Chain A
Amino acid sequence: MPILDTKDVTKQFGGLVAVNQVSMTVNKNEIVGIIGPNGAGKTSFINALTGIYKPSGGQIFFQGKDITGFPAYKIAKQGIARTFQNLRVFSNISVLENVLIGAHCRIDNPFHHIFLRPLRSKKIERQAYAKVIALLKNVGLEEKKESLAKNLSYGEQRTLEICRALASDPELLILDEPCAGMNSAEMDTLADFVKKLRDEGQTIVVIEHNMCFIMAVSDRIIVMTEGAKFREGTPAEIRNDLEVQKVYLGEQEVE
């Protein structure tokens, strides 16, 4: 059974149909790439999936459960984590706290325990701390755990955002243009990291304009134009598809 299954998801803004009846599936342990020209509705589709926009139509099933119209925080609890196209790290607090906040919904510490079972509460917090430190080590940000997020380089902030999303042990990780603003060395590191995550069992959806990156990491690619799904196939199929090339004609990302 696919982990994510959308049926005719639609999102309208007034007269503008930003997402038009998109149906797709994501299977466990697979990387699905989404590409498409600017304004194709990729981000809007992801926003509808993660509860930031309420879908105007269609249905979304996650692990067999209908999550259509759930608020964002509930969807996060179900196990979908994401990053944002325009970086949204918590800039005035430390890297460590950023990632701890990412782990929020996996820290089982009810409010009354703070006062009634303080020792248990402290223990749970310490466990979360240890887990987050391990995660930071894994992405190479451990050295900088005390620095404010806004003082990191752009690439590091992107990494931090992914790290924050991973802290919630997501079943599905969605990355919206993770390479934007990265140099090519950082991009290669990221590609390796994403593949390593997949090998460890993570399921990932990634939106990206950079063709090298998307071709390198994806198991399957979905092409969107004007809000609708236009093509779906393996990287090789998409690369050789003349129609897809036509859609991209005039776009600078043409290979």
Chain B
Amino acid sequence: MLGEVILVGVMVGAVYALVTVGYSMVYGILKLMNFAHGDVYIFGTLVCLTLLTKYNLHPVLAILIAAIVGGGLASLVELLVYRRLRAEQHRLISMITALGAAYVIQNITELNWGNQVMFFPSIVKSKFINFWGLQISVTHIITLFVAVLCIAVLILFMRYSRYGKAIDCVSQDMDAASLMGIPINRIVSSVYFMGGLLGVIGGVLYSSSYNAVSLGMGFRGTLVAFTAAVIGGIGSLGGALLGGMILGLSENLIGVYISSSYRDPLMYSLLIIMLLVKPTGILGSSDQAKV
């Protein structure tokens, strides 16, 4: 039993990491809590659902299209809502507009798909295999595999491509990067795009392994991403992975051994405690502001 719970926890953790990475990258660059993140990727996940069930598209193709839609939506939100507030305004202003954007997307999603929990088909035939005495679902293994693969590609991309380095530059010092001729708007746009894209992949993986998806998972997803990012160290890639893993694991253990109705309150408590005790996260460091 414990073995299976941990394995599912690792799988959920990997998916959470995928969802968190996109959010954390945005934070790293703009220091903006993107409240629309979860709603964007649920929108994409539901697009994928429609493509799968209504149009019977091949899963890989459906995920690809949905991910691009999610990425596009994320960049669109950035373009319309956040960009104008980026330079001069108080940070809290963009947080409120981000919440507004979240509500708008939620409402559009609700108009199209309703707010009920819907069945999400498994992307692969669910089958159990016996592995060292553990009953393991193939879906979970594949989910884990895909999530890890995406993260690995992202890490390689950030490390070795010119684009990745440019993103790093911008997040260290936007003004200096701009002076060096890095096209800030394009970089920011593409970070949002990647965030949305990875989020949708995460959302689809999660939904298909639980065979369920609903509107409510959007805002919850935003908070999952916040919590995981804060635990690991907000703005850092490694932190997002670590945080996602910790959150996924602990959530499953709590859900199974304590009570699933207190799973979310406990997650929120963890968020509060982290923000109070070590807001820079496990991997972060702090510095004193200059006066």
Contact = CB atoms under 8 A, between A and B. Distances in A.
Contact of B288 (A13, A43, A84): A13
A53 interface: yes
B291 interface: yes
Nearest to A14: B287
A106 to B, nearest CB: 24
Nearest to A88: B291
Nearest to A50: B291
Interface in A40-60: 43, 47, 52-53
Contacts of A84: 291
Contacts of B291: 43, 47, 52-53, 84
A216 B89 CA distance: 41
Contacts of B288: 13, 53
Nearest to A85: B291
A86 B123 CA distance: 59
A60 B288 CA distance: 21
A13 B291 CA distance: 13
Interface in A41-81: 43, 47, 52-53
A53 B287 CA distance: 12
A52 B291 CA distance: 8
Interface residues of B, number: 2
Interface in B263-291: 288, 291
Contacts of A53: 288, 291
A47 B291 CA distance: 8
Nearest to A44: B291
B128 to A, nearest CB: 54
A150 to B, nearest CB: 13
B114 to A, nearest CB: 44
A157 B189 CA distance: 38
Interface string B175-216: 000000000000000000000000000000000000000000
A22 B291 CA distance: 19
A52 B289 CA distance: 10
Contacts of A13: 288
A202 to B, nearest CB: 24
Nearest to A43: B291
A43 B290 CA distance: 10
A13 B288 CA distance: 8
A84 B288 CA distance: 17
A84 B290 CA distance: 12
Interface string B89-131: 0000000000000000000000000000000000000000000
Interface in A101-160: none
A52 B288 CA distance: 10
Contacts of A52: 291
Nearest to A53: B288
A53 B288 CA distance: 9
B260 to A, nearest CB: 45
A84 B291 CA distance: 8
A48 to B, nearest CB: 11
A169 B150 CA distance: 63
A36 B291 CA distance: 18
Nearest to A86: B291
Nearest to A13: B288
Nearest to B289: A52
Contacts of A43: 291
Contacts of A47: 291
A90 to B, nearest CB: 14
B287 to A, nearest CB: 8
B290 to A, nearest CB: 9
A43 B288 CA distance: 15
A15 to B, nearest CB: 13
A53 B291 CA distance: 9
A159 to B, nearest CB: 21
B286 to A, nearest CB: 11
Interface of A: 13, 43, 47, 52-53, 84
Interface of B: 288, 291
The 5 closest A-B pairs by CB, nearest first: A52-B291, A47-B291, A13-B288, A84-B291, A53-B288
7 contacts: A13-B288, A43-B291, A47-B291, A52-B291, A53-B288, A53-B291, A84-B291
